[in-house]
Amino acid sequence: MTAIFEKLTILTSIVLWGYSFSRVVDSYGVMQKKVTTFRRVIKEEMNSLSGIRRANVVMVGLFSIAYVTMLYFSGIAIWILCVVLGKFAISAYLSDSFHNLIIRGKTFSKPLYVQMKIDAVLNALVGIFILIILFV
């Protein structure tokens, strides 16, 4: 059973690394374009702005819990699970701040951009770190 979870964890860690790396290479201008596009989609498609934040929190929360559960069943040390869960909690907070900013129509600031870049780098490092643990 552990072998199945290890394979799933490897696959998920690769996806986490790839997605995080793609966010690392996005420039400030690209992020501003994404914000503009996202605002337009929200206005056209969504009825409830609070629903967007709720959906984001649920999605990030479910991913975090699923990933940490896979780590647990892969035999990763408990202290590493706690660090990863703490890291994902910070990511959830930043993601919610980002969505809140977009919903309220405020400008996408450089400090938030830098925080999101640092978060993406750290998420990529988490993915690499877990892969190293599982392969060693």
Backbone angles phi, psi at 44, to 5 degrees: -80, -40
Q: What is the mean pLDDT of residues 31-56?
A: 79
Q: How far apart are alpha carbons 61 and 85 in whole angstroms?
A: 10
Q: What pLDDT score was predicted for residue 49?
A: 66
Backbone angles phi, psi at 69, to 5 degrees: -65, -45
Residue recorded with tokens 């993406």? 120
Q: What is the pLDDT of residues 44-58, one digit of tens each?
A: 776 666 777 788 888
Q: Would you say residue 127 has pLDDT above 80?
A: yes
DSSP 108: -
Q: What is the pLDDT of residues 102-115, one digit of tens each?
A: 878 788 888 889 99
Question: How are the residues of the chain apportioned to helix, strand and coil, as percentages rounded to the nearest 5?
Answer: 90, 0, 10
In degrees, rounded to 5, the angle at the alpha carbon of residue 88 between the alpha carbons of residues 65 and 131 is 80
